[in-house]
A and B are shown apart, each in its own frame.
Chain A
Amino acid sequence: MKRITIALAGNPNVGKTSLFNAITGARQKVGNWPGVTVEKKTGKRVFEGLEINVVDLPGTYSLSAYSIDEVIARDFIVEEKPDVVVHIVDATNLERNLYLTTQLLELGSRVVIALNMSDMAEKRGDVIDTQKMREFFETPAVKTVGNTGEGVENLIREVIKEAEKGPHHEHEIGYGKGIENDITRLEKVLEEDMELSSRYPLRWLAIKLLEGDERILERVEGSPVKQEVGEILKGVNTEEYEAEIADKRYEVVNAVLPQVCTRCVQRFTKSDMIDRVLTNKYLGIPIFLALMWAAFELTFTFSTPFMDIIDTFFASLAEGVATSIPGLLGSLIGNGIIGGVGFVLVFIPPIFILFLLLAFLEDSGYLGRAAFIMDRIMYKLGLHGKSFIPMLMGLGCNVPAIMATRSIEDRKDRMITILVNPFISCGARLPVYVLLAGAFFGRQAGMVIFSMYVLGVGVAIFSALLLRKTFFKGTPAPFIMELPPYRRPTVKTSLLHMWERGSMYLKKAGTIILLGAIIVWFLASFPSGVEYGSEGSYAGMLGHVLEPLVAPLGFDWKIAVALLFGFVAKEIIVGSMGVLYGVGEGEGALTDALQNDPSLFPLNALGLMVFTLIYMPCVATVGVIKKETGSWRWTFFAIFYGIGLAWILAFVIYQGGILLGYA
């Protein structure tokens, strides 16, 4: 089968993702660009016997060398030379989008313009003449609606037609006499370097050098013509040139725009009206809090019936298996695997619902406003407004939350956000709170659980301030974020987003927790002949070894073991306790067992909850931290800081409580 490769480029927020999905259907793969933590999405589409490889480039406003995203996009186009670059343009915002078009054309790639969101443009009364666009830019333009898939087939057809035209088609913008002169001089010199001139369009190289593009300058450093290039550049004020070149590009865009689009006027939109209220000085934050509260209430009550269903299902399944398959194997599969993992799966409903609601907020455009509103407060806490969103996501699961920090540009801001994220109480810790608060705090249980969340936020803030003062001195990067117009989120896209994040939790469950559950089972069942989960088992022995470390916190060996297993995944803590107390997963039984244990009472239960909240992040999170920070040093820091802080707080609570007479 013949095959072509196309790349999708465009500004952020233009609906690139939905168009990518529309083109590739479900056939896509997510990975990383080599050497960096930026996500790389690739997919395939077979169209009329032709195999099309689709690469989704990071969204960028331009192709300079200032951010990793831009470099990746640019390098891919220049080095890998895809057959066609599909430039996805927001039809409701042509002017700004076309700026990138000019740069793509200069790169000499074959471009097809996809006028995405053309449905919204039409609703606004904008009329875009695709024929004229084709004339002016010498590339085809196709109207598309990413959300519905409209126009995608046309787009693919145009792409195929364009691909067949063969490589290299350079489009020129005149930059004025002075700059053009220098371009010519540079071109002449660069021609001498065989390697450079065979890889890159000369004119593009010249322009980049005149703009002072760092990466290109680096390239030229290793070139034989370095001297001459340096000479020419010496007399050039690159900053001035950069501005002039950008100006010229906008000039071109502005000249073309009125001829290509009639009625592309800006009007006071509904979005502005809505923003008036939602970003109101006084109302903004309260509205956000109110919505958040309602969302949480919904998440937890709505998931209850489903959780019950899953719970009973797995409990009886575990039971059934354990009794029907004899001996060790039965116990392994029944108690160990099904019991352990099933318990975790019970928490799918709240996590997924939370992510779904977050997806709605995100897709409607509200989350951007929320980040903007919170920026002021975040700034005072030494954080960036954009850090807000990962922290929200941390309430579901820290793993996707930390991955979401990629959108934070400033390194220090990002590091701090990553390092404090584990303190945001994630879904995995909830079972521990529910169990302990339910057993020891009766009617106050709800309040106690809520205060855990508040404490988590508090510790995160405290740690952020601490990190700011010590390792990451400085102030948060300035905040500028595009606020796309409000739009009605489609159920389909939101479900997709929910799935993207929720599936990480599932992967964690399927792999790490499964492994952890097996390990727990193993340690609890051996040495052979020992009663499952009793003091004589390896688990018990391990517990006794650790006991002295946690005794000052009021914990006994059973808790020590449970916490140790909790390192694998915090959901396992409850399961382990069930094993160690010799009762099944049944909530009631475990609650009774805990209440009957003389060494457990409200005070150290509270300490335990706090400890669980704060001590090191689970293995999955540790893995993500290492991946996103790229540093073992900070990963270890996260672990030990967490344990240390947790120990201190639990100690204070326990000993302090005793002093105050609470035990």
Chain B
Amino acid sequence: MIKKDMDNRVVFAAVVAVLYLFFGLMQIVAGIGYESGLNEALFVPADIMGGFMLMVVGFIFLFGVKELNSGVGEGVAYLYVGIVITLVLAGIYLLIMGSDALSAYGLGSEDFDGWTPLDDLKPVIYLAVLPFLGFLKWRGRFTLG
């Protein structure tokens, strides 16, 4: 495994970890009641369980960083699984957005008056862009180092 590649991955993992941990924390805090204008701008919902979800992902990548940094090649496993999980979660919430869209536009259901897709946009969806890029870049190369 080329050292440079490894370094890239560590940085990548670290960035992803920080992002998810941060947003996760924001969601939890908002869930308890402390919101700020920042939340609205970034589409952060007040959602304790959702925040927990994000933080778990963050920790997965964090573990990956820890292992890779101390030279344990198998640490890439955390990246691999982490990326899959972020994509799965993003996919799930996109599906949720889709079904809400169905309720709103397709059925004209009254609970959904004035709903727009942006109502369902959350960090769990857009934060997954970064892992997705990682997935594209390193797709074939998740072997053991």
Contacts and interface: CB of A to CB of B under 8 A. Distances in A.
Are chains A and B native binding partners rather than an unrelated pairing?
Answer: yes
A131 interface: no
Contacts of A289: 52, 56
A280 interface: yes
Contact of B95 (A291, A302, A308): A302
Interface string A117-144: 0000000000000000000000000000
Please tell me the size bucket of the interface on B.
Answer: 20 to 34
Contacts of B42: none
Contacts of B63: 277, 280, 283
B81 A274 contact: yes
A157 interface: no
Contacts of A298: 92, 95-96
B41 interface: no
A293 B89 CA distance: 10
Interface in B100-145: 100, 102-103, 106-107, 109, 142, 144
Question: Shortest 4 CB-CB distances between A and B: which pairs?
Answer: A277-B81, A273-B77, A290-B53, A305-B103
A345 to B, nearest CB: 18
B103 A294 contact: no
B99 interface: yes
Contact of B92 (A273, A297, A305, A308): A297
B80 A301 contact: no
Contacts of B18: none
A294 B93 CA distance: 8
Contact of A290 (B56, B81, B93, B102): B56
A297 B144 CA distance: 35
Interface residues of A, number: 27
Contacts of B76: 273
Contact of B102 (A274, A282, A305): A305
Interface string B53-87: 10011011001000000000010111011100100
Contacts, number: 81
B49 interface: yes
Interface of B: 49-50, 52-53, 56-57, 59-60, 63, 74, 76-78, 80-82, 85, 88-89, 92-93, 95-96, 99-100, 102-103, 106-107, 109, 142, 144
A277 B77 contact: yes
B99 A305 contact: yes
Scoring B74, B88, B99 by chain A CB atoms within 10 A of each residue's CB, the highest score goes to B99
A309 B56 contact: no
Nearest to A302: B99
A274 B77 contact: yes
10 contacts: A274-B80, A277-B60, A283-B56, A287-B60, A289-B52, A290-B52, A290-B57, A305-B106, A305-B109, A308-B109
A304 B100 CA distance: 8
A104 interface: no
A504 to B, nearest CB: 25
Given A268-B144, A283-B63, A308-B103, A301 B96 contact: yes
A305 B112 CA distance: 11
A289 B76 CA distance: 23
A447 to B, nearest CB: 10
Contacts of B77: 273-274, 276-277
A278 interface: yes
Contacts of B100: 301, 304
Given A297-B92, A305-B102, 12 more contacts: A273-B144, A274-B80, A278-B81, A283-B60, A290-B85, A290-B89, A293-B50, A294-B53, A297-B93, A305-B107, A305-B109, A309-B107
User: In terms of DSSP, what is the predominant structure of the interface of chain B?
Assistant: helix
Contacts of A297: 92-93, 96
A288 B55 CA distance: 13
Contact of A276 (B57, B74, B109): B74
A286 interface: yes
B92 A304 contact: no
Nearest to A275: B77
Contacts of A278: 81
Nearest to A298: B92
A287 B54 CA distance: 10
B98 to A, nearest CB: 8
Given A273-B80, A277-B82, A287 B56 contact: yes
B24 to A, nearest CB: 10
Contacts of A302: 95-96, 99
A268 B85 CA distance: 22
A303 to B, nearest CB: 8
A277 to B, nearest CB: 4
Nearest to B62: A283
Contacts of B50: 293
Contacts of B103: 304-305, 308
A22 B121 CA distance: 43
Nearest to A312: B107
Nearest to A295: B92
A287 B85 contact: yes
Scoring A289, A294, A295, A302 by chain B CB atoms within 10 A of each residue's CB, the highest score goes to A294
